[in-house]
Amino acid sequence: MLSEKMQSVLNKQIRIEAESSQIYLAMASWAELQGLEGVSQFMYAQSDEERMHMLKLFKYINERGGHAQVSELNAPPLEFGSIKEMFETLFKHEVFVSGTINELVHIALEEKDYATHNFLQWYVAEQIEEEAQARTILDKINLIGNDKGGLYLFDSDIKQLTVVSSVAPPA
């Protein structure tokens, strides 16, 4: 059984994951309008993944006797200035999400809720991977600079981008 506090903070995380999905969706739309098909496909897939993260939390709360809740979401930005600015925004957001996951782990330990602590370890590992991926993409964008040919190749290559985290389970 979840404590009221644990249920409350997990429901806040549901909102964060849902907003993350919306942010990626807005980025997908913006990239599509810029003619960046590969980046757009990548962002649509990321949006779906964030929604899955939200649903996983949703199910967990209900399975533990809590009440998972849908809440109002903040609207994401619709314009990103440049591809570099968009990926910088993405990276900063992933760092923020990592912080919120770490806070959940801290609360779970304080409450001696070892089931939730165990459940959250998946999110901890996932965030390491998300940050590494965002950092890798930013590194590539910085290498490209203002080279349109490089951006064209990057847009094509991002469809196959895979970043293997140090905590990822072996394939």
- Is residue 148 one of the residues assigned to a domain? yes
Is 117 a member of any domain?
yes
CA distance 6 to 61: 9
3-state class percentages of the chain: helix first, strand second, coil last, to nearest 5:
75, 0, 25
C-alpha span between 77 and 140 (Å, rounded): 23
If one counts every other C-beta atom within 10 angstroms of the C-beta of residue 3, the result is 16
pLDDT in tens, 6-35: 999 999 999 999 999 999 999 999 999 999
CA atoms of 48 and 11, how far apart (whole Å) = 19
d(CA 124, CA 152): 33
- Do the domain assignments include residue 165? no
Q: Residue 171: inside a domain, yes or no? A: no
Of 42, 44, 46, 53, give the one whose Cα is nearest residue 18.
Answer: 53
Domain range enclosing 65: 4-160
In this structure, what token pair is assigned to residue 102?
Answer: 């770490």
For the chain, the domain total comes to 1
Chain segment 52-111, per-residue pLDDT in tens: 999 999 999 999 999 999 999 999 999 999 999 999 999 999 999 999 999 999 999 999
Q: Flag whether 168 is in a domain.
A: no
How many CB atoms neighbour CB 78 within 10 A?
10
CB proximity list for 77: less than 8 A, separation 6 or greater = 23, 26, 89
CATH number, residue 52: 1.20.1260.10
121 is in an annotated binding site: no
Encode pLDDT of 121-160 as tens digits: 999 999 999 999 999 999 999 999 989 899 999 998 898 7
Asked whether the beta carbons of 17 and 57 are under 8 A apart, the reply is yes
Q: 94 a known binding residue?
A: yes
Q: How confident is the model at residue 161 (pLDDT cuts 50, 70, 90)?
A: confident
Supply the angle between the helices 4-33 and 83-110 in degrees, to the nearest 10.
Answer: 170
Instruction: Let me know if residue 118 belongs to a domain.
Output: yes
Residue 72 domain flag: yes
> Has 34 been labeled as part of a binding site?
no
Q: Which of 66, 79, 82, 61 is nearest to 17 (CA)?
A: 61
Does the annotation list 111 as a binding residue?
no
The answer on whether 110 is annotated among ligand-binding residues is no
What's the whole-model pTM score? 0.90
In a domain, 167, yes or no: no
